[in-house]
């Protein structure tokens, strides 16, 4: 029963991914913000595809039952939105320094301290929110699944950092 459910979820997710028009290479030329700063349809489709693939991978790695998935993913989406907002705030604060450096402007000690303190505070908030989210899942997941989720999140982060490192090495 469990294998059948997982197989059906997998088939549904994979078929819906391939049914999306944004998955075709010919439509990728229309991606990115348009002149009005709005995202094109292809970008939304790709974002949905990524979300569906992530849901499929998490379902598979955590070995979620359908009942667990019904409870887990709404909470997970909420958590991802919170993480996204905090990451955007971190990026906005770093952007201030990046622009000053790019423009060759002097950065005062006070300004540097203020931005670094704010970024550090936001990082701490993000880490606290991750910890709180993982600890809140005891009513849905068992301890092994919670541990796997914590490992998956850390593994994904280190993979991204390794990819960034390879990109920077190729630039030299």
Cβ–Cβ < 8 Å for 130, 82: no
Whether the CB-CB separation of 46 and 17 falls below 8 Å is answered with: no
What local confidence, expressed as pLDDT, does residue 54 receive? 85
Contact 74/146 with Cβ under 8 angstroms?
Answer: no
What are the contacts of 94-99 at 24+ separation with CB within 8 A?
Answer: 94/119
Which residues form the domain of 94? Answer: 65-172
Specify the pLDDT at position 152. Answer: 82
Pair (138, 85) in one structural domain: yes
One domain for residues 86 and 117:
yes
Statement to judge: residues 80 and 159 lie in one domain:
yes
**Mean pLDDT per 10-residue interval, the chain, length 172 residues:** 67 63 46 47 60 87 93 94 95 92 91 94 95 94 93 63 59 52
Does 9 share its domain with 52? yes
Residues 56 and 101 reside in one and the same domain: no
The reported pLDDT for the residue numbered 36 is 44
Burial bucket for residue 100 (CB in 10 Å: 0-12, 13-18, 19+) = middle
| Whether the Cβ atoms of residue 72 and residue 64 lie closer than 8 Å to each other | yes
> What local confidence, expressed as pLDDT, does residue 76 receive?
93
**What is the reported pLDDT for 25?**
44
């Amino acid at each position: 029963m469990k294998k059948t459910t997982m197989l059906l979820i997998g088939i549904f997710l994979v078929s819906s991914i391939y049914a999306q028009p944004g998955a075709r290479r010919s439509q990728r030329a229309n991606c990115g913000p348009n002149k009005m700063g709005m995202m094109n349809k292809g970008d939304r489709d790709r974002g949905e595809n990524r979300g569906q693939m992530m849901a499929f991978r998490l379902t598979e790695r955590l070995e979620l039952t359908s009942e667990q998935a019904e409870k887990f993913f709404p909470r997970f989406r909420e958590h991802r939105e919170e993480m996204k907002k905090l990451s955007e705030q971190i990026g906005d604060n770093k952007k201030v320094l990046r622009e000053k450096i790019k423009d060759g402007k002097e950065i005062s000690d006070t300004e540097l301290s203020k931005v670094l303190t704010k970024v550090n505070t936001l990082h701490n908030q993000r880490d606290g929110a991750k910890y709180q989210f993982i600890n809140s899942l005891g009513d849905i997941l068992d301890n092994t699944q919670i541990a796997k989720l914590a490992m998956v999140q850390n593994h994904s982060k280190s993979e991204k950092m390794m990819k960034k490192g390879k990109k920077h090495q190729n630039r030299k």
